[in-house]
Amino acid sequence: MAGDIILGYDGSEGSKAALRVAVAVAKAFDAPLTVVFGYEPNPMGGETADYKNQLEKIGTDHLDAAVSEAKAIDPSVATEPIVAALRPVESLLQASLEREARVIVVGGSGERPIVGAILGSVPHKLLHRSTVPVLVVPAPED
Amino acid sequence: MTTTTADSGELGSSPTGEAAGGKGLKTGALGLVSSLVIGVASTAPAYSLAASLGFVTLVAFKYSPAVMLVAFVPMLFIAAAYFYLNHADPDCGTTFTWVTRAIGPRTGWMSGWGILVTDLVVMPSLASIAGYYSFTLFNANGLANSTFWVTFVGVAWIIVMTAICYIGIELSAFTQVLLLGAELIILTIFAAVALIRVYTQHITHSIRPEWVWLDPFKLSISTLSVGMLTAVFIYWGWDTAVTVNEESKDAKRTPGIAALLSTLVLLAIYLIVSIAAQSFHGPGFLTNNSSDILNALGHDVLGSPWDKLLIIAVLTSASASTQTTILPAARSSLSMAVHKAFPPRFGSINSKFLSPGFSTLVFGAVAVAWYIGLTILSPGVVLANSILALGFGISFYYGMTGFACVIYYRRILFKSVKNFVFIGLAPLIGGLMLAAMFVISIFYYSNPANSASGGQAWFKFISFNVHVLGLHLYVTKGVSPILVIGVGLLLIGFPLMLLWRLKHADFFRRSREAAVSLEASAPPLTLGVIPVTD
């Protein structure tokens, strides 16, 4: 298992656009596609157990949807979902290392740069920290 | 089939071949420093001192350092309960679920309610301190003494903090270390300067520290209990240091060391500051300035502009404390909703920010309403009423957690001396101490003359006189607001629980559980699946 295409998926419009591109890239390279949903409750404040379980359910639902969508686009691409108890950026970086990924594909959030800077932007952080190429797919215009 | 992560291991191809559910990416393991910082920052030393030092002194006078020392004992014992309950399976526990499993669904529901009420009761004190200290930071003393403007900024504070929790903005671990480090250093400098000046200069009403300040046996049981009920608040939140540690990098050693270190840090800072504070101008100054203690003392001890450092420390501490109030409140109501003990909407997760959105917003809104309402109902003594009432809620649900630990592990208590002492005896004694403080304080505050609200009383038509076990419960011309807030809000939970039970009996049909070993994972508590997105 190496040379995977890693896709960050959270059910947003941007990540849906990224899914279509990621399937095409996986097909072109004849590489397996790994879809990642990362989450991590803020440890401040404790009481995280049930919250964590709920997040995991959401992640599983999103990824089930992503896998069936990928199968629908191209059944020949091998797709594997991963729900990770890590922040989104960390989970993508770690998946890219462990899978010796070819590329990480994520959706652009479509947020204005200043909003992204305040709220934290996954593509932005990835571009700075990833050791493999990062492909940012813009969310479709409304 | 989705691969999910539990704690560690390699992606997919796990060589250890763990059970189904699979292992995925390594989780964010917390180091010793992070665990320590989370525990101490959640306890918020600067804010806790600013809010409560004056009120502890009001009850215990010059023995407040002794009260702070002794109040730690039940909290330490209850932390052992948190540690062991969390240890059974870190993925299944909060006070609400633990008590539900161990003692039963009704007590569990009431404990969950206790957490929500306690988190609510602390909000006005956080908001009013944030409002008051924000104005004094900019020397706007006129505004700082205006109830309207302090409330205005306090409400804005709650709204901003709720938004931060809703969106899920987090400080980086590094920033947290910096802020907490600065808070502790400023408190230490404040105490050191105060003590040096007491020994080298002539300060009005100053007294040199005496060992007898640390002797709790100089106090009557009643005074000690009431003082401790106020003082447990300064250690409130410390248990997170014990529970986050299940995910530590070295799960065998880190939790113990982090808990021990945070204990020493907190005890040291509280003792040094409370001793320094009362030696500087004497205990009388503390009781006269109980609502703005660190501002008043900081000004005299450090002088302008250095006293602003202390004010900044109180504000950063209050912001950490507000977040560690809103986050667990929202997560507790989420927890109750997931287990069908609360309306399902409270279990929903915001799809964009992945926060418990509805729970967070409702808590923020109720906190604003409660703060404004309390400001109108008890003008001038919002802080006093909130801080003195808070101990009831804390004692209630911490005590329940202690009892839950003993009951949940009842089958393995006698398997080793270690089990008996740490899982049985310590949590039991902790729970009994908190229960005793709770009951004795009810008698004490039943006399409105004993409340810091200057004899203020609500429900003036209530009047009765009872003797129980040699204790005198007399309520004349109304009830102290401290009792109404501290005990009344807990009691409201009971009819609400019965009401919920009428339509949603599922949750209340659960039977009690007991652990058969320390290592065994508890089965999931969930009774059904509810929609998880907004």
- A44, A55, A61 ranked by CB distance to B327: nearest: A44
Taking residues B343-349, what's their average pLDDT?
A: 93
Look at residue B28 and tell me whether its pLDDT is greater than 70: no
Look at residue B338 and tell me whether its pLDDT is greater than 80: yes
Which chain A residue has its CA at the smallest distance from B338's CA? A50
Percent share of chain B, pLDDT over 90:
60
In a domain, A28, yes or no: yes
Look at residue B446 and tell me whether its pLDDT is greater than 90: no
pTM: 0.89
Give chain A's mean pLDDT: 89
How far off is chain B from A49, nearest CA to CA, in Å? 5
Window B:139-168, CB contacts with A under 8 Å: 167-168
Q: Where are the alpha helices (DSSP H) in B378-471?
A: 382-408, 417-418, 426-445
In a domain, B334, yes or no: yes
Query: Which residues, other chains included, contact B400 with Cβ-Cβ below 8 Å and sequence gap of 6+?
Result: B95, B99, B103, B107, B110, B111, B114, B431
In a domain, B458, yes or no: no
In a domain, A142, yes or no: no
Q: Model confidence over B388-415: pLDDT tens digits? A: 999 999 999 999 999 999 999 999 899 8
Considering only CB atoms, which chain A residues are within 8 Å of B99?
none
Domain tally, chain A: 1
Q: Model confidence over B30-85: pLDDT tens digits? A: 677 888 888 898 899 999 999 999 999 999 999 999 999 999 999 999 988 988 88
> What is the SS3 assignment for B479?
strand
Interchain CB contacts (distance < 8 Å): A and B: 140
In a domain, B515, yes or no: no
Instruction: Give the pLDDT band (50/70/90) at residue B520.
Output: low
CB-based burial of residue A79 (10 Å sphere; 0-12 exposed, 13-18 middle, 19+ buried)?
buried
* Residue A86: domain span: 5-137
Q: Do B240 and A46 touch (CB under 8 A)?
A: yes
Give CA angle at B234 (B231, B236), nearest 5°.
Answer: 110
Return the amino acid letter for B382. V
How far off is chain B from A84, nearest CA to CA, in Å? 5
According to the model, what pLDDT value does residue B522 have?
57
In a domain, A11, yes or no: yes
Ordered strands of the A134-137 beta sheet: A134-137, A103-107, A5-8, A33-38, A79-84, B3-4
CATH number of the domain that B179 lies in?
1.20.1740.10
According to the model, what pLDDT value does residue B238 have?
82
In a domain, B341, yes or no: yes
Which chain A residue has its CA at the smallest distance from B245's CA? A43
According to the model, what pLDDT value does residue A108 have?
84
Judge whether A7 and A36 are in contact, CB under 8 Å: yes
Domain tally, chain B: 1
Q: Model confidence over A31-87: pLDDT tens digits? A: 999 999 998 888 887 888 889 889 999 999 999 999 999 999 999 999 999 998 888
Q: Which of A10, A50, A64, A119 to mutate to test the interface with B (most CBs of B within 10 A)?
A: A50
Q: Name the range with the highest mean pLDDT among B74-78, B80-84, B477-481, B509-513.
A: B74-78
Q: Do A45 and B356 touch (CB under 8 A)?
A: no
Look at residue B9 and tell me whether its pLDDT is greater than 70: no
Q: How many CB atoms lie within 10 A of CB B122?
A: 25
Q: Name the range with the highest mean pLDDT among B23-27, B137-141, B165-169, B490-494.
A: B490-494
Give chain B's mean pLDDT: 85
According to the model, what pLDDT value does residue B459 have?
80
* Residue B389: domain span: 32-442
- B10, B328, B532 ranked by CB distance to A98: nearest: B10
Q: Do B331 and A51 touch (CB under 8 A)?
A: yes
In a domain, A20, yes or no: yes
Judge whether B102 and B512 are in contact, CB under 8 Å: yes
Judge whether B54 and B290 are in contact, CB under 8 Å: yes
Q: Do B170 and A80 touch (CB under 8 A)?
A: no
Taking residues B512-519, what's their average pLDDT?
A: 76
Please give the structure tokens belonging to residue B333: 């109501």
Considering only CB atoms, which chain B residues are within 8 Å of A85?
5-6, 25, 27-28
Look at residue A5 and tell me whether its pLDDT is greater than 80: yes
Write the CA distances from B131 to B125, B126, B317, integer angstroms: 10, 9, 13
Residue B2 touches partner A, C-beta closer than 8 Å:
yes
Q: Which of B30, B249, B354 to mutate to test the interface with A (most CBs of A within 10 A)?
A: B354
According to the model, what pLDDT value does residue B25 have?
58
According to the model, what pLDDT value does residue A61 have?
94
CATH number of the domain that A87 lies in?
3.40.50.620
Note the Cα A26 to chain centre separation in Å.
14
In a domain, B308, yes or no: yes
Look at residue A124 and tell me whether its pLDDT is greater than 80: yes
In a domain, B117, yes or no: yes
Percent share of chain A, pLDDT over 90:
61
